[in-house]
Amino acid sequence: MNPANRSRVVIATALIIALFLAAWFMLSPVTALLYLSTGLATAVIVLGLNIQWGYAGLFNAGILGFIALGGYAVMWVSVPPVPEAIAAGGAGLLSVIVKLAVTAICIWVLHLAAKRLPINLPVWLLRTLQVSIALAGYIWMKTEFVIAVEAIETADTLDQTMKGFIGGLGLPVLLGWAVGGVFAGIAAWFIGKVTLGLRSDYLAIATLGIAEIIRTFLKNADWLTRGTLTVSPIDWPVPTPREMNGMLESGLEINLKWLGISAEQTATAVGRGLFIAVSAIVLIILVLMMERALGSPWGRMMRAIRDNEDAAAAMGKNVVRRQLEVFVLGAILMGIGGAMLVSLNTLFDPSSYHPPRYTFLIWTMLIVGGSGNNLGAVFGALFIYMLWEMSEPIAQFLFFGGADMLTALIPGFEPPVDLASRASQMRVIVIGVALIATMRYAPKGVIPER
Amino acid sequence: MPQDDRNALLQIDNLCKSFGGVQAVNHTTFDVVEGSITGLIGPNGAGKTTLFNLVAGNHKPDSGSVYFAGDDITGMQPHALFARRLLRTFQIPHEFDTMSARENLMMVPGEQSGENLFSTWLNFSRVRQQEKTIRERADSVLDFLGLSHVADHPAGKLSGGQKKLLEIGRTMMVDARMVLLDEVGAGVNRTLLAEIAGKIEQLNREHGYTFCLIEHDMDLITRLCERVVVLAEGTVLTVGTPEEVTSNPEVIEAYLGHTDNDMLKSQRSRG
Amino acid sequence: MEYADLLNAGVYFINKGLLNAFKIGSIYALGAVGITLVFGILRFAHFAHGDMMTFGALIAFAGTVILRNLGINTEPIPTGLLALPLAVAATIILALIIDRHVYAHFRASKSPPVVFVMTSIGVTFILQGIIRLVGGTGDRQFFFTAVSNGESIREDKGRWLVKFDWLRDHFDGFTQKLVITMPQLWLFIFTAVALVGLHYFLNHTRTGKAMRAVSDNEDLARISGIDVGRVVKVTWVIAGTLAAIAGTLLAMDTQYKPILAFNLLLPMFAAAIMGGIGKPFGAVAGAFIVALAETFAVFDWRPIAGYLFADRFDMTASMALVPAEYKLAVPFAILVLVLIWRPTGIFKGQVL
């Protein structure tokens, strides 16, 4: 690492520690731990984005889709199945899946036939036929699908918190994290195949749209995800606070008062501390893997493609294939991060994937942190996330203090009633200012690419 | 012109390409014989670079075919042609500007195991081995080109002439069968040009590279090429030795209609 | 099936289908034109456009509150319209200030496009925060009951009902009517006027032609002596004006809410790109295509089937092609298809 960067890393770490301590003392130790944990999971996501944007210059605005898929995956893997619902609609669903598969195969066969056979089929005709088959397939399975879904959603279940969907596999949570990566990777493969031929700015809008479709689907497919009713609790790879509490009550002795953590908070603190440890291990492994990739001939090839695509192609590199590779790799990381987040929150709520918050905030993290640099990505995630969370309490402190001061100084002054919710608006403003300031004064980010 | 019994390595057959109403390449047909250095000349707008782009896979021809070593390569993508050891350089050097000169060369060899992600993570010792070999080759190429002293400089910061040399150097990182050189002499001073010409001859003689070069510099053509193809208005006007071609009245007329002076200069210099 | 059923079906189709589509299309058109102009002339994606629309609506609302509380009543013209010039002026000023203090710097230093996009996102964030900071986070109705001088005065949104009386007398059973709200009517009027005005401006005035020149080729335009700085300002004026009008009229027809226009951003971008970057009337065409597709994709054909086919269909399940919750996905699906099929858009605009 070059010396200029080294000093920046030190400053960056200091900033994060400062925000962490601010949270620890202004709010509470357990809240600070929660923020750190969320920041680490987000760092995995931003690392993924760094691979797509920093290595290969692919502008992915559809981050949300991959994160949501990761979240769904961990829910699906770790939540136990709901036998009543499966009994009611499982067969119907299976039949629908078969019909979908048949339709997909027909379309694919048509694609192959057009390629292999000597007839010269005009592209528009091929596409029209394929779209017609898709439409026919949709109509074919629609009624059965509706009936199966209806059955699943209305099946009466023993466990009311699980009512309305088919449940999952009931397997360990860490596996769910991995499956999150797999789901996101598969989705990225298909999306990449279709959109990577487009010019970069168009790629952004296409990915944004597809992410929107994924998000809307997950939100509305109650039979799959319980939609707005959400699914919880989702397990942790380490003892949850509740489990920790049980352990503490049955004799385990842990005294954290010297850290300022009260007895009631100890279980949560320890639980979250362990989660942080696991998250940190996952993050470190991934960072090391990505660093290795970047420093290898693969990284050199990706830089060449980014520097001059035509020359790289002329020198034998299959640009589209490599871009797809990068896109999928980045998406896998986003899926893992998304799974980690849902695990941490023990709640899968598809409506929480709100575009402004997630998509733009994550991009801001990468740009401010330093795109093209893995450490920059991690820093950006932790810093911006903490800044985002801490802006509200700090703003409230300032606003209320200011309101008190103005009330004392100006007779008849009445602060607005919803001062608290207005204070929370400062978050977006602070982040916006941070972004613009970075663009203006450090356009390559705080920790730029070496 | 005596009949050549060497094989035609590159065969261009009736290629046509139009861009928005302008017929850039119009039923062009000619061969490039293996082991030769063949020139491709013609006034500006004759379609030379378009032709290269058609062969090299940057554009798809409207009709016609291209054969390389007997295989139909019409419309094949650039990276596929590279695998068949048909390489090209660009008129304006396309260097990888943020990478060092050495890295520019090291990225070239295909099928490096290091370019495979799984090998990078699981079989790094093999990658390291290969890197050593590739680096040695890169260093010897840099040496050959006289660029060793800028090996670690970012390619974007090199001089124009150095970038040109690097461009040729890239083609030396693999055992190419044929290299298409697009105006390698453009904007290069006389001394460097002579150097480049020498390297081309050396590669042709010692390594068996076949070259096809687009050029405006008639001295370079005369020195290097045993055979010259003249292109005008998208089609082949004539084929011959440099001497035959520069004294051909049709060729002169084609140039006279344009503002190229090299052709006239070399005509005049021979009295 | 009688003529009355046909008429009912027809009017229902027009009312809930076409009219709705045209209303949405007009909003999209006004916004998309601004977006495509900024895209074409300033060459970046102006994400903050949606929030400019919301800002305009907020100012209009504030103006309306003041006017109503002063007792001003100008029926049948809604008070919101009186506040519109204020909203337009404020939005224009906002746009010019942002340009001067944020974008101009990056233009001067010839920053790469991604910097513009990121900056635009930053501006969006800040604008959203300011809007909520100043205007609160709640929803507001334009047609509220004001209290002025101790009197409460109601203002009605106003509707125009076309009852087709003469047809009703002839055809027994024809009960459907066309309903247009006053804000919708004003929207159509404003949109038409704005588009005609824009056409005239772009084709028959010097500044308009200068704008087209800069959009086509900035360097050439500059060399020809065109004042690019002035073109930039005029672009923001037009974009701001259209945004304020669209935002205000939309808020008047539904309600003001801080998230008002953000959800419209993506369909408007879809419209702009579909129509070809830099082609304002392409954007208009794109806007109406998107609006029509959106409306009819989620259109529930049940009432029409009911009129036309009486009891022959099972009417319990929705007869919409796409469930209503997926409405937002429709413009995207269209956009993706257009991009794959024809990346320069329908009217061959710039390729980014």
Q: Where are the domains positioned within chain C? A: 3-341
Residue B228: per-residue pLDDT: 92
ipTM above 0.90, yes or no: no
CATH class of the structural domain C3-341? mainly alpha
Q: Is the pLDDT reported for residue C31 higher than 90?
A: yes
Task: Decide if A307 and B124 are in contact by the 8 Å CB cutoff.
Answer: no
Averaged pLDDT, C271-284: 87
Residue C155: per-residue pLDDT: 74
Query: Per-residue confidence at A184, pLDDT binned at 50, 70, 90?
Result: very high
Averaged pLDDT, B87-115: 87
Task: Decide if C335 and A209 are in contact by the 8 Å CB cutoff.
Answer: yes
Domain final residue pick, A161, A195, A210: A161
Query: Per-residue confidence at B258, pLDDT binned at 50, 70, 90?
Result: low
Residue A177: per-residue pLDDT: 93
Which of A99-103, A136-140, B152-156, C343-347 is predicted with the least confidence, judged by mean pLDDT? C343-347
Residue A114: per-residue pLDDT: 79
Measured between alpha carbons, how far is A331 from A325 in angstroms, rounded to an integer? 10
pLDDT cut 70: percent of chain A above it: 97
Chain A contact probe: residue of B49, B53, B79 with most A CBs at under 10 A: B79
Alpha helices in A80-172 (DSSP H): 83-116, 123-154
Q: Are C346 and C273 in contact (CB under 8 A)?
A: no
Query: Per-residue confidence at B271, pLDDT binned at 50, 70, 90?
Result: very low
Query: Per-residue confidence at B1, pLDDT binned at 50, 70, 90?
Result: very low
Distance of CA B176 to the CA centre of its chain: 11
Place of tokens 């503002």: B259
Whether residue A195 sits in one domain with residue A322: yes
Task: Decide if A216 and C333 are in contact by the 8 Å CB cutoff.
Answer: no
Residue C91: per-residue pLDDT: 95
Whether residue A419 sits in one domain with residue A313: yes
Domain assignments of chain B as residue spans, ordered by start? 8-94+175-269, 96-157
Averaged pLDDT, C66-78: 75
Q: Is the pLDDT reported for residue A190 higher than 90?
A: no
Domain final residue pick, A133, A161, A189: A161
Q: How far is A361 from chain C (nearest CA, A)?
A: 9
Query: Per-residue confidence at C17, pLDDT binned at 50, 70, 90?
Result: confident
Q: How far is A200 from chain B (nearest CA, A)?
A: 19
Q: How far is A67 from chain B (nearest CA, A)?
A: 23
Whether residue A230 sits in one domain with residue A180: yes
Structure confidence by residue, pLDDT tens digits, A35-79: 999 999 999 999 999 999 888 888 888 899 999 999 999 998 888
Averaged pLDDT, C4-13: 81
CATH number of domain containing A288: 1.10.3470
Closest partner CB to A316 (pick from B56, B82, B127): B82
Task: Decide if A360 and C121 are in contact by the 8 Å CB cutoff.
Answer: yes
Query: Per-residue confidence at B265, pLDDT binned at 50, 70, 90?
Result: low
Residue C57: per-residue pLDDT: 92
Enumerate the residues of chain A whose CB falls inside 8 A of the CB of residue C123.
432, 436
Structure confidence by residue, pLDDT tens digits, A278-329: 999 999 999 999 999 988 899 899 989 888 888 999 998 999 899 999 999 9
Structure confidence by residue, pLDDT tens digits, B21-52: 788 888 999 899 999 999 999 888 778 888 99
Whether residue A378 sits in one domain with residue A339: yes
Domain final residue pick, A143, A161, A179: A161
Q: Identify the burial level of A271 via C-beta atoms within 10 angstroms of its C-beta, where 0-12 means exposed, 13-18 middle and 19 or more buried.
A: buried
Whether residue A334 sits in one domain with residue A284: yes
Averaged pLDDT, C177-197: 87
Please state the domain count of chain A. 2
Q: Is the pLDDT reported for residue A104 higher than 90?
A: no
Residue A47: per-residue pLDDT: 96
Closest to A72 (Cα-Cα) out of A163, A138, A165? A165
Enumerate the residues of chain A whose CB falls inside 8 A of the CB of residue B125.
none
Q: How far is A255 from chain C (nearest CA, A)?
A: 42
Measured between alpha carbons, how far is A42 from A340 in angstroms, rounded to an integer? 9
Task: Decide if A429 and C326 are in contact by the 8 Å CB cutoff.
Answer: no
Structure confidence by residue, pLDDT tens digits, C290-323: 999 888 888 877 777 777 776 666 666 667 777 7
Q: Is the pLDDT reported for residue C349 higher than 70?
A: no
Q: Say which residue, A250 or B198, is predicted with more confidence.
A: B198
Q: Identify the burial level of A192 via C-beta atoms within 10 angstroms of its C-beta, where 0-12 means exposed, 13-18 middle and 19 or more buried.
A: buried
Q: How far is A422 from chain C (nearest CA, A)?
A: 5
Residue A21 lies in a domain: yes
Q: Are A66 and A331 in contact (CB under 8 A)?
A: yes
Averaged pLDDT, B94-119: 85
Q: Is the pLDDT reported for residue B212 higher than 70?
A: yes
Averaged pLDDT, B210-219: 89
Structure confidence by residue, pLDDT tens digits, A325-360: 999 999 999 999 999 999 999 889 888 887 666 788
Q: Are C330 and C293 in contact (CB under 8 A)?
A: yes
Q: Is the pLDDT reported for residue C79 higher than 50?
A: yes
Closest to C155 (Cα-Cα) out of C264, C55, C232, C82? C82
| Pairs across A and C, CB distance < 8 A | 132
Enumerate the residues of chain A whose CB falls inside 8 A of the CB of residue B120.
292-293, 296-298
Chains in contact with C, where contact means 3 or more Cβ–Cβ distances below 8 Å, are: A
Domain membership of residue A409 as a residue range = 3-80+168-441
Residue B162: per-residue pLDDT: 87
Averaged pLDDT, B163-190: 87
> What DSSP line would sit under A324-387, residue for residue?
HHHHHHHHHHHHHHHHHHHHHHT-B-GGG--HIIIIIHHHHHHHHH-TT-HHHHHHHHHHHHHH
Whether residue A281 sits in one domain with residue A142: no
Which of B6-20, B108-122, B128-142 is predicted with the least confidence, judged by mean pLDDT? B108-122
Q: Are A176 and A342 in contact (CB under 8 A)?
A: no
Structure confidence by residue, pLDDT tens digits, C125-146: 889 888 888 887 788 888 777 6
Which of helix, strand or coil describes residue C210? helix
The residues near B201 (Cβ < 8 Å, ≥ 6 apart) are B37, B224
Whether residue A93 sits in one domain with residue A45: no
Q: What does DSSP say about strands B63-68 and B37-41: parallel, antiparallel, or unpaired?
A: unpaired
Q: Say which residue, A427 or C309, is predicted with more confidence.
A: A427
Residue A447 lies in a domain: no
Whether residue A151 sits in one domain with residue A40: no
| Pairs across A and B, CB distance < 8 A | 87
Q: Say which residue, C40 or B20, is predicted with more confidence.
A: C40
Tally: H helices and E strands in chain A: 18, 0
Identity (one letter) of the amino acid at C343?
A: P
Chain C residue closest in CA terms to A432: C122
Q: Is the pLDDT reported for residue A179 higher than 90?
A: yes
CATH architecture of B8-94+175-269: 3-Layer(aba) Sandwich (3.40)
**Element at B13 (helix H, strand E):** strand B8-19
Whole-prediction pTM: 0.81
Q: φ, ψ for residue C147 (rounded to 5)?
A: -115, 115
Residue C192: per-residue pLDDT: 92
Residue A415 lies in a domain: yes
Chain A contact probe: residue of C336, C341, C350 with most A CBs at under 10 A: C336
Whether residue A225 sits in one domain with residue A210: yes
Which of A312-321, B173-182, C97-106, C335-344 is predicted with the least confidence, judged by mean pLDDT? C335-344
Which of helix, strand or coil describes residue B28? strand
The beta strand positions in A36-92, using DSSP E, are none
Q: Is the pLDDT reported for residue C36 higher than 50?
A: yes
Residue C352: per-residue pLDDT: 47
Measured between alpha carbons, how far is A135 from B262 in angstroms, rounded to an integer? 63
Measured between alpha carbons, how far is B39 from B166 in angstroms, rounded to an integer? 21
B109-118 contact pairs (CB < 8 A, 24+): B109/B134, B109/B137, B109/B173, B109/B174, B110/A316, B110/B82, B110/B83, B110/B174, B112/A297, B114/A296, B114/A297, B114/A298, B115/A297, B115/A298, B115/A301, B116/A298, B117/A293, B117/A298, B117/A325, B117/A329
CB atoms near residue B111 (< 10 Å): 9
Q: φ, ψ for residue B240 (rounded to 5)?
A: -175, -170
- Mean of the per-residue pLDDT values of chain A: 86
Q: Is the pLDDT reported for residue B2 higher than 50?
A: no
Identity (one letter) of the amino acid at A61?
A: A
